[in-house]
Structure 1
């Protein structure tokens, strides 16, 4: 069965969000991640900002943590889990939805999107931030035939038939709420373990997550620690010129 395009009416209808969420929509030229951070202090938790783009599913959500910043960043793993779960629900069967450290989302080993985490720049590591913002992008369509050397993929080209931006956003919010519930019952470690279950595997390497979110990679050659804060600052999956996941 041929892959169909993402539904066109996704830009005309609005997501039906769970109770407690509020929706802010931006025009195609908007920046969900930046806008959510700009309004986070006033708008409050569960504010979702959505950019009405055809080629990219782009949105951001405001979170209000109850832990100090050094621990609150673990919410990145919680939100990435929700993003992957939302994509997996709508994906063709037996095609893996995985993570690349720390914030890239792959589908069948092709880069399809990613997440970003923002917080107040003046918040010390040992204080509770007023807010966090998780921003997400998933490529709806590459809008071009596959080219040699291309590692990025799009939903339309990969068989996500009859799935649009609204479907993905609604699913993300439901999975995020479920993840928050599990976090409250089981703690942040459970969210980190779930994220690790989807991390692209490296033969001979065992991974773990530290209480501050850093990644520990252990192999026969020793142990390497990778800083979550430094890695999040790079946003390696994002093409800053196009404002979309890298192809």
Structure 2
């Protein structure tokens, strides 16, 4: 029997059938006008899939910074539930890394694409594999799953509960203090910061600016890349 996850105040959960993507469900419900704070999730045992609906009161340029909040919430949740020797990092713009290998991702979408427009909704989704799909362990050395990293006592619903609590806490910090505090927490967890990267484009990842945009240096030029460019189109 599956135990329903407990969500913190201000957040409400709704399970979706396993053949339905919670992110797509969240987007369709957001378009229909569902309340902010709804979390749609699947009860599948092999992968955590969940999506949070937000109703920002800011421009999209500011609202999309909540993607970093969701990443921090996931990193703190894994840090609380995983064995202490398991490091969790980010790879800009949307990848989660556990013990140096890819282990999950973040998705996001809004009803506007203009950075200065005010979105009616923002959906942020997470996907974290607990069990590798068809392939044998070691077939894809750049990818991993939580069970391979020693998280055998963790369940998707426990991680969902923890993610919702940590994300809500950091959303409060974000709304109270702005992006600076989020940025300070996010920076040490990004293991490609200050390094040459190939994704999303070739260059030196210098850092993030005050609006959360990637600073990518190519020769003597530095360009900015916004998370908005990587939002899913709905």
Q: TM-score range by the shorter chain?
A: 0.7 to 0.9
Q: Is 1:216 aligned to 2:215, yes or no? A: yes
> Unmatched 5+ residue regions in structure 1?
1-8, 235-247
1:196–1:207 Cα contact (<8 Å) kept: no
The aligned residue for residue 152 of structure 1 is: 143
Residue 149 (structure 1) shift: 4.0
SS of alignment partner, residue 43 of structure 1? coil
Mean CA deviation greater in 77-86 or 212-221: 212-221
Cα distance in 2, alignment partners of residues 230 and 181 from structure 1: 25
d(CA) in 2 for partners of 1:109, 1:77: 19
Corresponding residue for 1:78? 69
Q: CA deviation at 1:25?
A: 0.8
5 Å-filtered alignment, 1:20-59, equals 20-40=10-30, 41-59=32-50
1:232 Cα deviation after fit:
3.9
Q: Distance in 2 between matches of 1:203 and 1:215?
A: 13
What's the counterpart of residue 57 of structure 2? Answer: 66
Residues 112 and 152, structure 1, Cα contact 8 Å, conserved in 2: yes
131, 138, 143: which one pairs with 1:141?
131
CA drift at 1:225:
2.5
2:154 corresponds to which residue?
163
Counterpart-to-counterpart distance in 1, 2:136 and 2:27: 35
Per the TM alignment, residue 221 of structure 1 is displaced from its structure 2 partner at its CA by 5.2
CA RMSD of the aligned region, Å?
A: 2.2
Structure 1: distance between partners of 2:153 and 2:139: 28
Q: Which has the higher contact order (CA 8 A, sep 6+)?
A: 1
- Per the TM alignment, residue 184 of structure 1 is displaced from its structure 2 partner at its CA by 2.6
Displacement of 1:167 after TM fit? 0.6
Partner SS, residue 134 of structure 1? strand
- SS at the partner of 1:23? strand
Unaligned ranges ≥5, structure 2: 197-203
Aligned-partner Cα distance in 2 for 1:96–1:220: 32
Instruction: Tell me the CA shift for residue 172 of structure 1.
Output: 0.6
Give runs of ≥4 in structure 1 deviating > 6 Å: none
Shift of the alpha carbon at 1:155? 1.1
CA distance in 2, matches of 1:87, 1:34: 24
Report the 3-state secondary structure (helix = DSSP H, G, I; strand = E; otherwise coil) of the residue aligned with 1:208.
strand
**Corresponding residue for residue 224 of structure 2:** 225
User: What secondary structure does 1:213 align onto?
Assistant: coil
- State how 1:195-214 maps to structure 2 within 5 Å: 195-201=186-192, 202-203=194-195, 207-214=206-213
Q: CA deviation at 1:226?
A: 2.5
Q: CA deviation at 1:218?
A: 5.0
